[in-house]
Structure 1
C-alpha cells in the first residue's frame, strides 16, 4: 500500500508557541560556533543605534536653538547653526547606512545558519518522509515554506523587533529627562485644592501611549491567526500549481484541466477570503494607529501653547518640548508601531514551532522494527509484522532468510503490503514490530517504481546518489547502450528536468544504468521495470547476474515472465478474516528449468 502525501492537506489551526519554544528557536545561533562573529555584529549595530539616538538628542537641542535664533532674527547665529546641522546630518547618514548594512549581514548569517540546521534536521532520520505519511496529530503543512520563508521571517523580524525595542528604550531614557526638564510643572485647581504635576508632559506621554497600545492590541490581536492561515493558504495554492506542472502529461492525458482548475480555484478562494479578513482588520487597525499618530503631532503643541503665549517659555523651548514629546511618545509607542511586524513574526514562530515539533517527533519515533547490520552474509527477517500508521494490520508475522546471491520474486494483490516490506527493509517504514538483519559492509540499492531524477545535467541524474563525476564517460556510455538508451550518450552535459523530458520507461531504464554504475551487492526492485516493454525488461534482468556477479535480487513484479530470473517466490496471500496478509514461500527452480 502506498503512503499518502498530505503536503497540501488541510492543517490544524495555528498552534501557539510557548515561551520555551520561542527561546528554543532563537537561542541556538547565539550559542553556536558563529556566536562571536554574530555578537560582534550585534554590538556594532547597537553602537550605531546608540549613535543615532545621540545625534537625535543633539538635534533636539539644535532645534530649540534654531527657533530661538529665528525668533530673534540673528542671521550670523543662523549660519552657524546650519554648519552644525551639516556635520550632524553627514554623521547621521553614515551611521544610518552602516546600521542597515551590518543588520543585513547579521540577518543572512543567522538565516543561513538556521536554514542549514533545519535542512539537516528535516533530512536526518528520514523526517522528510515520515512527516508526509499522514499520521494523526501532524502539524506542519508545506515544510518547504517553513524552511525557506518562515526562517527568513524569524531572523529578519526578530532582529528588527529586538533592535527597535532597544533603540526605543535608549531613546526613551535619553529624552524623558529632557521632556521632564523643559516641560516644567503644571499647576491647576480642582476639587477645592491646588494641584501641581511635575514634568507633566512625561505623564501625558505615558498615558497617551498606554491608551493607544491597549486599543491597538484589542483591535489587532486576531491578526496573528489570520497571518498564520494566509501563509498556509498561499503555500497550498503554490503547491497545487507545482503539482500540475510536475504531472502535466498525466493531467493532459486525463483531460483533467477542469478538475485542476476547480481545485486551484478553491485554494485561491481561501486566499481571497482570508485576505479580505486581513483587510478589514487592517483597516480598523490603521484607523486607530493613524489617528493615534496624527493627534500625537498636535497634542504637545496644544498642551504647551498656554505657557508659550503667557511668555513662560520661548518658541525654541516650545518646539523642543514638541520634539522631545514626540521622541518619548514614539518610544512608548513601540508596541503600536511594531504591531503588524509582531503579528507576522508570531505567526512564523507558531509555524516553525509546529514544524520543529514534527521533525523532532519523527526523529524520536519509537523504533518498533529493528533494522540492523550483522556479520553474516544473509538477509534475515524475524517476527516481522507491518501496520499502517493508524495501526491497521498489513502483514502478519514473517520469518524468512535470503542467502547472498539468491533471487526472490515477491508477488500478490495490489495493496497487500509488498512495497511496504521493501520500505521496512530499507528502514524507512517504522510501523510494526520485528527485526531485520542485513549483511555488514554489503552495499544495497533500492529502486522504486518511479525513480527520482534530480534537475540538472544528465550525468548527475545518471550517477545519483553518487556525486556527479564519480564515473567515467566510457562506463556511462556502455551502460546506456546496455539499457537501450544510446540516444542519451551525447547529452550528458545537458541540464533539464529529466523527469519531464523522459518517458516512464526511459526513466526506469536510466535507473538500471545507476545500478550497473554503483554495483550494489543487494538489489531491491519495487516494480522497477513495470513501464518497460517485456523484451527490454527481460534483457535487463538477464544482464544483472552477468554484469554484477553474485548480486542478490529481491523483486516485486506482476509479470509472470520474470519468474524464470528468480529462484524463490514470496506470495502475499490475504488471510480469511481480512486482517492483513501472510507470506507463502515456494521454489521457482522448476519454473526456471
Structure 2
C-alpha cells in the first residue's frame, strides 16, 4: 500500500485588533443577558436599582427646597424654623444614606451576576470546537485570558455605572431645570439702546457653560480610547511574559537565560511606560480642563445670580436654592465631561471584546477543508488528505491510507515533515487542508503528545484527566504507577500541586502511559510519547502497553529505530524532490507506506 504527501515553512499571522466598534455592535454585547434565562432576576435587580437612583434624585430635590428654607431661617433669625429644618435635614440625610448604600449594593449584585453569565458564554465559545487552539494557530486575537477576565469586568461595570449615571443625570436635569427656570427669573439688560429680557436666564447660562465644556473635553480626551486600548494590550503582554518564565523556570535557569528574559520583559514594559506617559499627558490636559470647569462652576451661579439678590429681587434662601439648582443642572449637563475618562476605558474594553468575539466566531465557524466523519467500517480511513499551514501554504501531498483494528503503525520522517500535523488532522483539530478522514462510530481515541498536560490539582485528578477525578479505582491507579516505574508517587495521589512543574519530562511521559492504560482506548496515538525516556524504560512501557491493550490499534511517531519492533507497519514521510532514491528503496518494502513531502514544520 503506497501513498504520498509534502511540507513548507510556516509564516506567522499578524494579530488583528479592533480599535473601532459601532454602537449597534455594543448593543449586541449588552442585549443577550437581558433576554437570557436569568432575565427576570436581572430585570428585577435593574428596576430596583433604577428606582433607588430615581429616589436619590427625588431626595436631591428635597434638599434643594431645604436649602431655601434653611437659609431663609438664618437670614430671618427664626430659631424655631431653624430647628425644624435641622430635624428635616436629619431624616432626609438618613433616608439618603440608606438609599445610596443599597443602590450600590444591589448594583454590585447585578454586576457580578451579569459578569458571571457573560464569562460562561465567552468561555463556552472560546472552548467550543477547539476555538482556543485555532486562535493560537492563527493569532487572530491576543491575550484571550485578559479579555475574558478583565474586559468583561470592564464591560459589565462600565455599562451599569455609565448608563445609570446617565439616567440619573437626565432625570435630575428634568427635575431641576424647572426649579432653576422659576427661581432664577428673567434677566433684563440694555444693549444698543434697547432693553433685552432673557427668561429663566440661569438655564441658558448652564446649557452654554456645559456645552462649551463638553466640546473642549471631547476634543482633548478623544485619543484616550485608543491609548487605553493599547495600554490594556501591553499590560497583558507583559503579564504573559512573566507567566511564561514561571511556567518554564527550570529551562530558563538551566540556559542561564535571565539576561535575555530581562531584555524581553524590559522591552514589553517599555511599551507600557511609553503608552502610559502618553495617557498621562492626555489625562493632564483633560484634568486641567475638567477641574477648572468644575471649580468655576461653584462660583458661577453666584456671579450671575448676585445682581438679582443685591437688587432685592430674591432672598438669601432663594440665592442658595438657585446655586443648588444650578449645580444639579450643570452637573447633569456635564455628565459627558465627568464620565469621559471612564467612558474611554469602557469603550476600549468593548473594542477589545469585539475583536475577540469576531476572532472566536471565525475560529469556531471556520469551514474545515478536512472533513472528519464517523463510519461503520471499524477502521480509520484517510482519503486524499492534504495538510496545509494556517496561512494556506501546502504542507503535504495527498495521502490515502487506513488504520485497521489491532494494527500497530510507526510513523517516521524528518523533523518538521508533517507527522504531528497528521495526528492533529485525525483528531479533528487541524482544519487546514483538503480531503476526508473517517473514524469508527464508537471508537475511543486517545492522543499522547510529546509534552502532555497535567492540570493543577491533586495527582489523582491529573492522572484521570480529562475524566473525573474519581473515574478510576485506586487499586488500578496504584498498579499502573508501580508498573510504569513511578513508585515514589504512590503516597501522593491526593496531594494538590502544579504537577507539570514538579515532575520531570520523563516522569510526565510515564504518567501519560498510566493515563492511557487506565483509559484503555481502542486506538492510541503516541506522538514521541517516550522521547524523554531511556531505552530500557521505553521498551518496558511498550511491552506493558501491548500486554494490557492487546486489541488496541497503536500509531506511534518516533525517531528511535528501536521502537520499530513493536509495530507491524511503517508510514514514512520522504521528501519527494530530495530523496527520490530513498523513496524508491522504501517503496519496495511491503511494510512501508511512503508519504512524499515538502520541507516545512509539522
**TM-score range for the pair, normalised by the shorter chain length:** over 0.9
The correspondence for 1:125, drawn from 119, 129, 132, is 129
Structure-to-structure mapping, 1:301-450, within 5 angstroms: 301-450=302-451
3-state DSSP of counterpart to 1:132 = helix
| 1:18 paired residue number | 22
Q: Displacement of 1:442 after TM fit?
A: 1.1
1:187 matched to 2:191? The reply is no
Report how far residue 76 of structure 1 moved.
Answer: 1.2
Query: How far 1:194 sits from its partner (Å)?
Result: 1.7
Partner SS for 2:149: helix
The change in CA–CA distance for 1:34 and 1:578 in structure 2 (over 3 A counts) is farther
Which residue number in structure 2 is paired with residue 201 of structure 1?
202
3-state SS of 2:337 partner: helix
Deviation string for 1:459-481 (max 9, x for gaps)?
00011110101111111000001
Q: In 2, Cα distance between the equivalents of 1:561 and 1:429?
A: 30
Show the counterpart of 2:33. Answer: 29
1:458 and 2:459 are equivalent in the alignment: yes
- The Cα shift of 1:545 comes to 2.2
CA distance in 2, matches of 1:394, 1:378: 25
CA distance 1:578–1:333, change in 2 (3 Å):
farther
Relative to structure 1, is the Cα distance of residues 26 and 577 closer, same or farther in structure 2, using a 3 angstrom cutoff?
farther
Is 1:85 matched with 2:89?
yes
2:61 maps to what in 1?
Answer: 57
SS for the counterpart of 1:312 is: coil
Aligned residue in 2 for 1:108:
112
Q: Which residue of 2 aligns with 1:468?
A: 469
Give 1:582 deviation, angstroms.
9.0
SS at match of 1:178: helix
Structure 1: which 4+ aligned runs deviate by more than 4 Å?
1-6, 9-14, 581-589
Q: Are the equivalent residues in 1 in contact too, given 2:52–2:99 (CA < 8 A)?
A: yes
Aligned residue number for residue 149 of structure 1: 150
Aligned-pair CA distance for 1:394: 1.2
Check 1:37–1:160 CA distance in 2 against 1; reply closer, same or farther (3 A cut): same
Q: Deviations over 1:542-570 (max 9, x none)?
A: 11121113000011000000101000000
By how many angstroms is 1:574 displaced? 1.1
Alpha-carbon distance in 1 for matches of 2:481, 2:164: 59
Structure 1 residues not aligned, in runs of 5+: none
Distance in 2 between residues matched to 1:46 and 1:337, nearest whole Å = 20
Counterpart contact for 1:567–1:587, Cα < 8 Å: no
Q: Residue 20 of structure 1: CA displacement?
A: 2.5
Per the normalisation by structure 2, the TM-score is: 0.94
Task: Tell me, in whole angstroms, the C-alpha distance in 2 between the residues paired with 1:244 and 1:564.
Answer: 40
Cα displacement (A) at 1:389 = 1.3
Alignment partners' CA distance in 2, 1:194 and 1:496: 85
Gaps of 5+ in 2: 1-6, 593-602
What residue in structure 1 maps to residue 599 of structure 2? none
CA separation in 2, counterparts of 1:133 and 1:379?
26
Larger relative contact order, structure 1 or 2 (CA cutoff 8 Å, min sep 6): 2
1:305 Cα offset (Å): 0.4
Matches within 5 A, 1:476-491: 476-491=477-492
CA distance in 2, matches of 1:31, 1:578: 62
The CA distance in 2 between the partners of 1:226 and 1:68, in whole Å, is 51
SS state at 1:311 partner:
coil
Note closer, same or farther for the CA distance 1:245–1:582 as it changes in structure 2 (3 Å cut): farther
Is the partner of 2:387 in helix, strand or coil? Answer: strand
Partner of 2:563: 562
What is the rounded CA distance, in whole Å, between the counterparts of 1:353 and 1:378 in structure 2? 43
* Separation (CA, whole Å) in 1 of partners of 2:19 and 2:430: 28
Query: Is the 1:209–1:332 Cα contact (8 Å) retained in structure 2?
Result: yes
- For the residue of structure 1 that corresponds to 2:525, the secondary structure is strand
TM norm structure 1: 0.96
> How far off is 1:19 after superposition?
2.2
Instruction: Please give the alpha-carbon distance, in whole angstroms, between the structure 2 residues aligned to 1:574 and 1:430.
Output: 23
Which whole-Å deviations, capped at 9, do the CAs of 1:173-196 have from their partners, x for residues lacking one?
A: 000000000000111121332211
Match of 1:42?
46
Change (3 A) 1:577 1:221: farther
> What CA distance in whole angstroms lies between the structure 1 residues aligned with 2:14 and 2:319?
59
